[in-house]
Amino acid sequence: MIRIAIYKNSQGIYRGFKSLGHAGYGAYGSDIVCSAVSVLVLNTINSIETFTKDSMKVKQREDDGMIEVRFGGQISDSTRLLMDAMVLGLKTIQNEYQKYILLKIKEV
């Protein structure tokens, strides 16, 4: 199962996120749930790096599928929109494949 935590502060502002695990929906290299989550997460990270000046730290481990992002300071409206889009996509996947992905919003 892929477990995803979206970190927000008490004002509802994104502070980062963490994705951990593999879906187990299909064979390695053919798992459509893992692929969908990976595309959303990696595209969000790449888009924030390319289209904003917001700072973030990214940690990644391939063996357990972990990727973690922490924002350094305030984020722009563009980053907020990119994060909103990622969360929307992850919720859509979760609605369809509930056994394979768990998405939680956590206050930090």
The structure tokens listed for 94 are 């979760």
User: pLDDT tens across 15-28, in order?
Assistant: 999 999 999 999 98
* pTM recorded for the entire structure: 0.95
pLDDT score of 41: 98
Mean local confidence (pLDDT), 37-66: 96
Residue 23 contacts residue 39 (beta carbons within 8 Å):
no
pLDDT score of 88: 98
CA distance 32 to 26: 7
Mean local confidence (pLDDT), 55-61: 97
pLDDT score of 97: 97
Residue 3 has pLDDT above 90, yes or no: yes
User: pLDDT tens across 68-99, in order?
Assistant: 999 998 999 999 999 999 999 999 999 999 99
pLDDT score of 23: 95
The structure tokens listed for 9 are 């502060």
